[in-house]
Amino acid sequence: MKAGIVVFPGTNRERDMALALTRAGAEVAWLWHRDGDLPAGLDLVVLPGGFSYGDYLRCGAIAARAPIMQAVARHAARGGLVLGVCNGFQILCEAGILPGALLRNASLRFLASDCLLRVERTDTPFTGLYRAGQVIRCPMAHGDGNYVADEDVLDRLEGEGLVAFRYVDERGEAVAEAARNGAARNIAGILSPNRRVLGLMPHPENAVDPLTGGEDGLPLFLSLVQAAVAT
């Protein structure tokens, strides 16, 4: 699988992302925010975490209007795989590729800790190697992860099964306290209607090594490689 990682000024998780993808067997290409086109033969575009453009205006707002984002939107429209993590999720929402928005954490605090996520469905290119309902441990690090959308948008996401991951407690229950950032309906990650685009606040790329807090994030990248090979 060929994955392209987009770097904006202020992106800072791109190397972690490259490490996770490489460990899963993907080939990584670096993409620059000013590029107008994606390299040929790219299976996956990744928007990694960080603080693009210093979070000026709104998190991800400036990056969403960068030249490369039109190419990313075209890639998504033709069914290409897209993964946006943390700031990348914010950028996907600001670009209108995914619905909703990410507001300041309800506590107003920057949250840097592990969180527990429940895998809501496994018939997606991102989650094929997880078990349905599996609870995974993943680090999170964000100031603006409070997912919001209109009630009808939330109902549509639920109705179409487009919630990919939810914040849960130790028992795997999506109780309100588990969504420490205040995210509506405990939403940590959502999918596009064709399930080829995933936006996710926590960092699976930082959970790929037993020496640094576990490997629960690795199956996401292995699933992607498997899905890309299968198509």
Partner 1 sequence: MKARVTVMPKSGVLDPQGKAIGHALASLGFAGVGEVRAGKVIELELAETDPEKAKAAAEEMARRLLANPVIESFRVEIAG
User: Rounded to an integer, what distance in angstroms lies between the CA atom of residue 179 and that of residue 9?
Assistant: 29
158 binds partner 1 (CB under 8 A): no
Residue placing its CB nearer to partner 1 in the complex, 104 or 121: 104
Closest CA to 27 of 50, 15, 11, 44: 44
CB of 3 to partner 1, least distance (A): 29
Asked if 158 contacts 150 with a C-beta cutoff of 8 angstroms, the reply is no
Residue placing its CB nearer to partner 1 in the complex, 66 or 136: 66
Piece in contact with partner 1 (CB under 8 A), picked from 5-13, 92-100, 126-134, 171-179: 92-100
73 binds partner 1 (CB under 8 A): no
Q: How far from each other are the two terminal CA atoms of the chain, in whole angstroms?
A: 10
Piece in contact with partner 1 (CB under 8 A), picked from 114-122, 133-141, 146-154, 186-194: 146-154
User: Rounded to an integer, what distance in angstroms lies between the CA atom of residue 65 and that of residue 32?
Assistant: 13
Piece in contact with partner 1 (CB under 8 A), picked from 46-54, 144-152, 166-174, 204-212: 144-152
Closest CA to 136 of 225, 217, 202: 217
Residue placing its CB nearer to partner 1 in the complex, 24 or 98: 98
Helix axes 14-23, 218-230, angle to 10 degrees: 60
> Which position among 54, 67, 79, 107 is part of the footprint of partner 1 (CB under 8 A)?
107
Piece in contact with partner 1 (CB under 8 A), picked from 11-19, 73-81, 100-108, 195-203: 100-108
148 binds partner 1 (CB under 8 A): yes
78 to 46, 71, 160, 225: CA distances (angstroms)? 16, 11, 20, 19
**Is position 205 annotated as part of the catalytic site?**
yes
Residue placing its CB nearer to partner 1 in the complex, 126 or 167: 167
**Is position 86 annotated as part of the catalytic site?**
yes
65 binds partner 1 (CB under 8 A): yes
User: Rounded to an integer, what distance in angstroms lies between the CA atom of residue 149 and that of residue 119?
Assistant: 21
Contacts of 58 (CB under 8 A, 6+ apart): 90, 94, 101
93 binds partner 1 (CB under 8 A): yes
Give the footprint of partner 1 on this chain (CB under 8 A). 57-58, 61, 65, 93-94, 99-101, 103-108, 146, 148-150, 182
